[in-house]
Amino acid sequence: MTAAFAAVLRRDLLVALRRKGDALNVLIFFVIVASLFPLGTGAEPGQLRTMAAGVIWVGALLAALLSLPRLFAADLADGTLEQMLVSAQPLPAVVAAKVAAHWLSTGLPLALIAPVLGLQYGLPSDALLVLLGAVLLGTPVLSLVGAAGAALTLGVRGAGVLTGLLVLPLCVPALVFGAGALTASLSGLAPGPHLSLLGALLAVSLPLGLWAACAALRVALD
Amino acid sequence: MFSNFFSFASPQAFYPVAGRMIPWFGWSAALLALAGLYIGFFVAPTDATQGESYRIIFIHVPAAWMSMFIYLVMALWAGLGLVLNTRLSGMMASALAPTGAMFTFVALWSGALWGKPTWGTYWVWDARLTSELILLFLYLGYMALKEAIEDPQRADRAGAILALVGVVNIPIIYFSVQWWNTLHQGASVSLTKAPSMAMTMLAGMLVMALAAWMYAIAVSLARVRAIILERERGRDMAWVRSMVNA
Amino acid sequence: MLNANGLSCERGDRQLFAGLSLALEAGGLARLLGANGSGKTSLLRILAGLTRPAAGEVRWRGERIGDLAEEYGRELAYIGHAPALKDELTVAENLAFAARLAGIVASGAQLEAALEVLGMATRAALPARVLSQGQKRRVSLARLALPGAPALWLLDEPFAALDEDGIGRVRALTEAHLARGGMLVLTSHQDVPVAAGSIQTVTLGA
């Protein structure tokens, strides 16, 4: 089971590495979205600081959403997904590896660049650290919920928009706790409770997201 | 074993049964609604602080209750269909979704109409209203997914997975929205916390809720009959043809 | 070993087949024949456990394949229309991954030997992107030549897109598998004779 996890993870990362453009585009999209907001709202420092959390989180959410079609669609098209379903390996291990690879190639870069965007919004250094921690904890939730959404819409016409329709409302808790951590830190409160809740959310999303994604893949390939 | 037990509830057997039940539920809904509205608008006293405008709770509160309850029932049918592989379950879930979405919309709409005279604004980021809005999104996503998948059986199973994920998430979403609300200190007035509710107000609300319940059952049964006819059309079933031609 | 009883399959409103049964013992070959759209691929997918039949069941060594899950997957090689190769990976990397999924840990030499059986050893370092259809099919079939290949092969049009040399190699591979006591279900348009101890033909859409 761990061998299967490692094999799928290694393969997906190798593919991502040879198609660097895909992951890079997601990152650039994130930076552009976050940079556009001040142009629309004005760059008054106090205002920027109060909206930083929301903008960065919604930006990360949308960027993660854009990367979701890649998750299963390519494997469906070339027949690999079929092989994964009839393979000698438990499907949850395979899907978990795919989600992990998706997070490493999308969520992790998003988390690493989020503090840089925080600088644009004039966040103090301790808030940047909270932002990094919150996005690190929150993006795996987006990958897990997103995997379920991508699996449900696999092979469906208009899958991209539909995935957003399914995934975004389910990401509300991640948005609230993630952005809340930063807001709390900015107003001098301890961000700990928010981060704990984010961690708890991850613990719930892991089994739920994997179950839903596996079940949905079996339905999609039926 | 289980599937044998449930297989008697085949679409074919259910179709005429549903047909016989619809008038009963439909008429109960109409009579209860009349009674509820009468209590709400003529018997219940004028509210000391909110005046006459509070009377919208006779629509708003039952709609909000039903919106959440129907999602639960929908997820229940969906889960049943997924586990026992009965065709009727998926059809029931499909039939319930539009009614649930309608009640969610009514709850939001009536909430907005109530907000205007009460708070001077149509929309307040109150925890309950916000949760209700996200519930509407969940309904819309469910219906969009079922609409997008062409094969009805596959659509049922995919929808069932989504409904189950949704039902686990609703309490989490509700909790997170409340958490968010306290953090940002939004509206402190809560829609459903009407001050010192008179007995007649409560009675009116309960009768209206019962009416909404009966209405939901009647409409869902009518819808499930339409779905049965549509889906069984392609099967080699003489009874569908006789129904369609009748 | 492999028993299918009373299978029926529906696609949309259409019934493809009904009441279909099939039994396969060690060394047995089943050929699925029928026109396009008669349900050959659907039957193969049902046997693989990908598609759920509208009625009937498939048993492997007496147990329902749904209950066996990946235990069945360990004894099964299903190769469908799509070659299941990643364009970004080399031929050798693709084969190594396919082996891993099948639960086989193969050394570099074993991978190369398997590719050689299909005549693809010289292409091992090429990315799959540059291969032709026939070459892709050879690579996807190469995992059948690995040591520890499973007992039951379900092959969808294994000879499609192959040239004469390729057909000969695949035929030799399948015959050796059957001679070892393996089982094979295949769909094919081409009339490629594959020798086996027992051969049964299932004609769909008749």
When the pLDDT of each residue in chain B is averaged and rounded to a whole number, the result is 83
Task: Quote the minimal CA–CA distance from C206 to chain A in Å.
Answer: 24
**C97 to A78: CB separation less than 8 angstroms, yes or no:** no
Q: Which residues on chain C are in Cβ contact (under 8 Å) with B234?
A: 12-14
| Per-residue pLDDT reduced to its tens digit, B26-54 | 999 999 999 888 888 888 777 766 777 77
Q: Where are the domains of chain C?
A: 1-75+150-206, 85-149
- B188 pLDDT band (50/70/90 cuts)? very low
- Residue the block writes with tokens 């966040």: A123
Task: Quote the minimal CA–CA distance from C90 to chain B in Å.
Answer: 35
**C14 to B234: CB separation less than 8 angstroms, yes or no:** yes
Report how far apart, in Å, the C-alpha atoms of B88 and of each of B3, B99, B157, C9 are: 12, 18, 12, 19
Q: Which of B157, B172, B179, B183 to mutate to test the interface with A (most CBs of A within 10 A)?
A: B172
Q: Which residues on chain C are in Cβ contact (under 8 Å) with A86?
A: 48-50, 73, 76, 78
Question: What pLDDT is recorded for position B186?
Answer: 46
| Per-residue pLDDT reduced to its tens digit, C18-70 | 889 999 999 999 999 888 888 899 999 999 999 988 889 999 998 898 888 88
Q: Rounded CA gap, A118 and A132, in Å?
A: 9
Q: Averaged over B164-188, what is the pLDDT?
A: 80
Task: Quote the minimal CA–CA distance from B34 to chain C in Å.
Answer: 44
Report the residue from C76, C82, C89 with minimal CB separation from A86. Answer: C76
- Is the confidence at residue B3, as pLDDT, over 50? no
| Per-residue pLDDT reduced to its tens digit, C79-88 | 998 989 999 9
Interface B:C, Cβ pairs < 8 A: 8
- What chains are in contact with C, requiring at least 3 Cβ pairs below 8 Å? A, B
The two tokens of residue B41 are: 């608008």
- What chains are in contact with B, requiring at least 3 Cβ pairs below 8 Å? A, C
Among A112, A131, A135, which residue's Cα sits nearest to residue A121?
Answer: A131
Judged on CB neighbours under 10 Å (0-12, 13-18, 19+), B144 is middle
Residues of A with CB under 8 A from a CB of B: 148, 152-153, 156-159, 162, 165-166, 168-170, 172-173, 176-177, 180, 183-184, 197, 201, 204, 208, 212, 215-216, 219-220, 222
**A172 to B154: CB separation less than 8 angstroms, yes or no:** no
- Is the confidence at residue C163, as pLDDT, over 60? yes
Question: What pLDDT is recorded for position A222?
Answer: 84
Question: What pLDDT is recorded for position B238?
Answer: 59
- Is the confidence at residue B190, as pLDDT, over 60? no
Helix residue spans in A42-171 (DSSP H) = 45-67, 69-78, 80-85, 91-102, 108-120, 125-152, 159-170
Q: Considering only alpha carbons, which residue of chain C is nearest residue A90? A: C70
Task: Quote the minimal CA–CA distance from C78 to chain A in Å.
Answer: 7
Q: Averaged over B149-170, what is the pLDDT?
A: 92
Q: Rounded CA gap, C142 and C119, in Å?
A: 9
Task: Quote the minimal CA–CA distance from A143 to chain B in Å.
Answer: 15
- Residue the block writes with tokens 């033909």: C201
Report the residue from A148, A180, A219 with minimal CB separation from B183. Answer: A180
**C86 to A78: CB separation less than 8 angstroms, yes or no:** yes
Share of chain B above pLDDT 90, in %: 43
Residue type, B206: L
**C12 to B234: CB separation less than 8 angstroms, yes or no:** yes
Q: Is B186 helix (H, G, I), strand (E, B) or coil?
A: coil
Q: How far is CA B89 from the centre of its chain?
A: 16
Structurally, chain A folds into a number of domains equal to: 1
Q: Considering only alpha carbons, which residue of chain C is nearest residue B235? A: C13
Q: Rounded CA gap, A31 and A119, in Å?
A: 12
Q: Which domain holds residue A131?
A: 2-220
- Residue the block writes with tokens 């205007």: B116
Q: Which domain holds residue B109?
A: 19-42+56-183+199-245
Q: Which residues on chain B are in Cβ contact (under 8 Å) with A148?
A: 161, 165
Question: What pLDDT is recorded for position B187?
Answer: 43
The two tokens of residue B2 are: 């289980």
Q: Which residues on chain A are in Cβ contact (under 8 Å) with B144?
A: 162, 165-166
Handedness of CA C192, C195, C201, C202 (dihedral sign): negative
The answer to whether A191 and A128 have CB atoms below 8 angstroms apart is: no
Name which residue leads in pLDDT, B233 or B14.
Answer: B14
Q: Rounded CA gap, B119 and C87, in Å?
A: 60
**A165 to B180: CB separation less than 8 angstroms, yes or no:** no
Name which residue leads in pLDDT, A161 or B116.
Answer: A161
Residue C66 sits at the chain B interface (C-beta within 8 Å): no
| Per-residue pLDDT reduced to its tens digit, A171-200 | 999 999 999 999 889 888 888 899 999 999
**C13 to B235: CB separation less than 8 angstroms, yes or no:** yes
The answer to whether C79 and C140 have CB atoms below 8 angstroms apart is: yes
Q: Which of A82, A91, A219 to mutate to test the interface with C (most CBs of C within 10 A)?
A: A82
Question: What pLDDT is recorded for position B151?
Answer: 87
Q: Rounded CA gap, B205 and B245, in Å?
A: 43
Report the residue from B140, B168, B184 with minimal CB separation from A208. Answer: B168
> In this structure, which long-range contacts are made by residues B149-154, counting pairs with CB atoms below 8 Å and at least 24 apart in sequence?
B149/A156, B150/C12, B151/C12, B152/B90, B152/B231, B153/B87, B153/B90, B154/A219, B154/A220, B154/A222
Q: Is A205 helix (H, G, I), strand (E, B) or coil?
A: helix
- Is the confidence at residue C14, as pLDDT, over 90? no
Q: Which residues on chain B are in Cβ contact (under 8 Å) with C14?
A: 234
Total number of residues shown for chain C: 206
**B151 to C13: CB separation less than 8 angstroms, yes or no:** no
Q: Which residues on chain C are in Cβ contact (under 8 Å) with A7?
A: 97, 100-101
Q: Which residues on chain A are in Cβ contact (under 8 Å) with B161?
A: 148, 152, 212, 215-216, 219
Report the residue from A3, A86, A90 with minimal CB separation from C50. Answer: A86
Tell me the CATH architecture of domain C1-75+150-206.
Answer: 3-Layer(aba) Sandwich (3.40)
| Per-residue pLDDT reduced to its tens digit, A69-93 | 889 999 999 999 999 999 888 999 9
Report the residue from B158, B165, B184 with minimal CB separation from A170. Answer: B165
Interface A:B, Cβ pairs < 8 A: 83
- B1 pLDDT band (50/70/90 cuts)? very low
Q: How far is CA C172 from the centre of its chain?
A: 15
Residue B155 sits at the chain A interface (C-beta within 8 Å): no
The answer to whether A110 and A139 have CB atoms below 8 angstroms apart is: yes
Question: What pLDDT is recorded for position B195?
Answer: 52
Structurally, chain B folds into a number of domains equal to: 1
Q: Which residues on chain C are in Cβ contact (under 8 Å) with A78?
A: 82-87
| Per-residue pLDDT reduced to its tens digit, A141-160 | 999 999 999 999 998 888 88
Among B42, B59, B49, which residue's Cα sits nearest to residue B200?
Answer: B42
Q: How far is CA B96 from the centre of its chain?
A: 7
